[in-house]
A and B are shown apart, each in its own frame.
Chain A
Amino acid sequence: MSSHRFAVNVTPKPGILDPQGRAVEGSLGHLGIDGVSAVRVGRRVELTVEASDEGAARAVVERLAGELLANPLIEAYAIESIAGASSIVAEVR
């Protein structure tokens, strides 16, 4: 068994109204920033999986992302591997 750390990035699907993104965009003027558009607000979930190898670990994350972390009707997700699980945990501390 080995330890594998992943991040799941969940974002509203293209075409889905994202009022949070619009609110962020609306505030840019107050900062004196222009030239920024298409702001989309999502969420990022980081997690560690114990599995026989990275492939098996990724399969677990796929299932978790598709069934729980994202609603496939309205959200898309992308899974990324984060190298060095133990160092990440230490960093968080």
Chain B
Amino acid sequence: MAVRVGVVVFPGSNCDRDTLHALANAGAEPVALWHEQATLEGVAAVVLPGGFAYGDYLRAGVIARFSPVMRAVAAFARNGGLVLGICNGFQVLAEAGLVPGALLRNRGLRFLGRDVRIAPERLDTPFTHALARAGQPLRMPIAHGEGCYFADDATLDALERDDQVLFRYVDADGRRPRGEDRDANPNGSLRAIAGVLSSGGNVAGLMPHPERASESILGSDDGAAIIRSLVESAARAANGTPVAVGPGTPLGAAAR
């Protein structure tokens, strides 16, 4: 039986259908979860999709944080449940304190909708293990106005030390951008961070959209392995054999 994976639908979500579709393609039974419901209907993983939840009023993601469904998602995450936030979903997770850091206005002030390249820092997580079979770097789109990853220096150092940086923006050759390389790191994220992991390793957020790059007809299917990783991990969690989150795997060693 296909594993049930939930996608939260906030008023203003606009990537929920794409995400449901990509999850179904990856073999899951996708379940839409309305923002006003207080239970997760027994799903084995939850995705917070992209969009503009509650109009992005006040700060992107902050109003969504206090919705009934997010109380359930936070409890689920505290119990080790798998949660993936994409774009606006990442902003919601950051506002809720479920992943470290904050997403600031893009350095260039403008909304950015274009392809970027990212590289995973780890291939041993519930969100990236299937990338071991994929080529690098991964090409997929971003579409956001507030995607500049920020945390203070002490937090950034701790994230690097504890292997909580999940994805970084890279240039076409897969190299980490230097200085103000706005082509590779268009929103100006500190240390070119595109995605992070919670300290428990069961919650992840990233700004680029894997679901929009999950079939070749979309121009890239580089994101499919991220969705597939989540679905496979959810299936193992449902069977009581969760994916172990081990120490970090150096990018150069495993990703090439």
Contacts and interface: CB of A to CB of B under 8 A. Distances in A.
A17 B62 contact: no
B105 A20 contact: yes
A73 B62 contact: no
Contacts of A69: 58
A20 B106 CA distance: 10
Contacts of B148: 17
Given A17-B148, A68-B58, A68-B62, A73 B102 contact: yes
Contacts, number: 32
A68 B63 CA distance: 8
B96 to A, nearest CB: 11
A71 B109 contact: no
Interface in A58-86: 68-69, 71, 73-74
B55 interface: no
Interface string B129-155: 000000000000000000010111000
Contact of A17 (B58, B101, B104, B151): B104
A19 B105 CA distance: 7
A56 interface: no
A40 to B, nearest CB: 13
Nearest to A73: B102
A17 B107 contact: yes
Given A69-B58, A73-B151, A19 B108 contact: yes
B66 interface: yes
A7 to B, nearest CB: 15
Interface in B92-126: 95, 101-102, 104-109
Nearest to B101: A73
A71 B94 CA distance: 10
Interface in B173-215: 188
Given A20-B109, A68-B66, A73-B152, 4 more contacts: A19-B106, A19-B109, A68-B62, A71-B59
